[in-house]
Amino acid sequence: MKEKIEALLNEVRSLTASSADEVEQMRIKYLSKKGEISQLFNDFKNVAGDEKRIVGQMLNELKNVTQQRLSEMKEAFENQVSAENMVDMSRSESPIEFGTRHPLSIVKNEIIDIFSRLGFTVAEGPEIEDDWHVFGALNFPPEHPARDMQDTFFIEKNPDILLRTHTSSVQSHVITTQKPPIRVLCPGRVYRNEAISYRAHCFFHQVEGLYIDKNVSFADLKQALLYFAKEMFGEGTQIRLRPSYFPFTEPSAEMDISCDLCGGKGCAFCKHTGWVEILGCGMVDPAVLEACGIDSKVYSGYAFGMGVERIANLKFRCKDLRMFSENDLRFLKQFDSAL
């Protein structure tokens, strides 16, 4: 018995393994229920009484040494595996290119930044909408052409579910869920069923503004828009408001800014008028306030909406609107410095 233990002890001390699997095989060989060492423990009962103490000690030592050796080897393999998974610190530093902000994001953020100085906060709404939020609440009569299949993308032949055609739909959400004073900007993507060309796309981006409080006047609207134009296009920028029509504003207007290419003298860019159109606006129609549960005798408000692509075009002079959605890095990287 003693010799057997000695022999096993020597054997175990010089064990080596080439894989974690092999270590496991060894554990089975020595330490499992039917393993060699366990067998010795079974035979222990036959050891003569005066030998029991010394043999017992030897057996325990054998067991401890074996367990330790096996766990040392196991650990070595585990460390090896995690080292393989580690980041290779010896790799040469490959040029990881920083992304650049998308020109439309740059412009959108600038619009938000300018109006936030006037107290506007941002509100967002869903792109998939129902008829009421996009048209109904905003005073579009049932037969209005914007509801037509030509302009609006409807979902699954259900004319009540559609892709919003303007971010004015967020107004409907805000007015029905918040109490005045309300001063929000609603940026987002909108969809219209238009033929794609250098100047039109089936989706684009808008930023809508809405201000509702007591005694809000058209002069407030004009002043806010003049401030915006000067901040966005430079101190010398002039604005001009032309009467227009939107179902949800009364009176309505379209705003032009003086052409900053020719300084208002007239050039090909402004079609020799000296002015370029940038947004639609007006006083919120009382019918819209009432439809959304706001007392139009107490409150009034203004709204405006602009296309982000349009503003980006004016700022960056991009000839083809499609560039904004084609993800061509050569194009997108040019706006690095605009950050």
Cβ of residue 93: shortest distance to ligand PHE, in angstroms? 48
The piece of 156-164, 263-271, 279-287, 324-332 that touches ligand PHE (CB under 6 A) is 279-287
Q: Report the site for ligand PHE in 247-266 (rule: CB under 6 A).
A: 249
The piece of 8-16, 37-45, 147-155, 299-307 that touches ligand PHE (CB under 6 A) is 299-307
How many whole angstroms from its chain centre is CA 140?
A: 32
Choice between 281 and 314, CB closer to ligand PHE? 281
Residue 130 contacts ligand PHE per CB under 6 A: no
* Dihedral (CA of 179, 184, 188, 194) sign: positive
Cα distances (Å, whole numbers) of residue 167 to 42, 131, 136, 190, 217: 83, 13, 14, 7, 22
Choice between 187 and 280, CB closer to ligand PHE? 280
Residue 168 contacts ligand PHE per CB under 6 A: yes
Closest CA to 229 of 238, 241, 242: 238
Q: State the Cα–Cα distance between residues 17 and 71, nearest whole angstrom.
A: 12
Residue 265 gets which letter from DSSP? Answer: S
Residue 282 contacts ligand PHE per CB under 6 A: yes
Report how many residues bind ligand PHE under the rule CB under 6 A.
11
Q: State the Cα–Cα distance between residues 156 and 160, nearest whole angstrom.
A: 10
Residue 208 contacts ligand PHE per CB under 6 A: yes
Q: Are 232 and 268 in contact (CB under 8 A)?
A: no
The piece of 24-32, 124-132, 278-286, 321-329 that touches ligand PHE (CB under 6 A) is 278-286
Residue 246 contacts ligand PHE per CB under 6 A: yes
Closest CA to 261 of 313, 334, 198: 313
Q: State the Cα–Cα distance between residues 219 and 123, nearest whole angstrom.
A: 24
Residue 304 contacts ligand PHE per CB under 6 A: yes
Choice between 66 and 152, CB closer to ligand PHE? 152
Cβ of residue 279: shortest distance to ligand PHE, in angstroms? 7
Choice between 168 and 313, CB closer to ligand PHE? 168
The Cα diameter of the chain in Å comes to 119
Q: State the Cα–Cα distance between residues 316 and 142, nearest whole angstrom.
A: 39
Cβ of residue 172: shortest distance to ligand PHE, in angstroms? 12
Taking CB under 6 A as the criterion, the residue among 303, 312, 314, 323 binding ligand PHE is 303
Residue 281 contacts ligand PHE per CB under 6 A: yes
The piece of 51-59, 263-271, 302-310, 325-333 that touches ligand PHE (CB under 6 A) is 302-310
Q: Report the site for ligand PHE in 29-88 (rule: CB under 6 A).
A: none
Contacts of 134 (CB under 8 A, 6+ apart): 152, 162, 164, 165, 166, 168, 169, 172
Cα distances (Å, whole numbers) of residue 194 to 191, 200, 201, 312, 326: 9, 7, 6, 20, 17
Choice between 163 and 281, CB closer to ligand PHE? 281
Residue 188 contacts ligand PHE per CB under 6 A: no
Q: Are 147 and 140 in contact (CB under 8 A)?
A: yes
Residue 280 contacts ligand PHE per CB under 6 A: yes
Choice between 125 and 282, CB closer to ligand PHE? 282
Long-range contacts of 327-336 (CB under 8 A, 24+ apart): 332/100, 332/102, 332/103, 333/100, 335/100, 335/101, 335/102, 335/103, 335/106, 336/100
Choice between 22 and 127, CB closer to ligand PHE? 127
The piece of 126-134, 147-155, 225-233, 301-309 that touches ligand PHE (CB under 6 A) is 301-309
R_g (Cα) of the chain, nearest Å? 38
Q: Which residues bind ligand PHE (CB under 6 A)?
A: 166, 168, 208, 246, 249, 280-282, 303-305
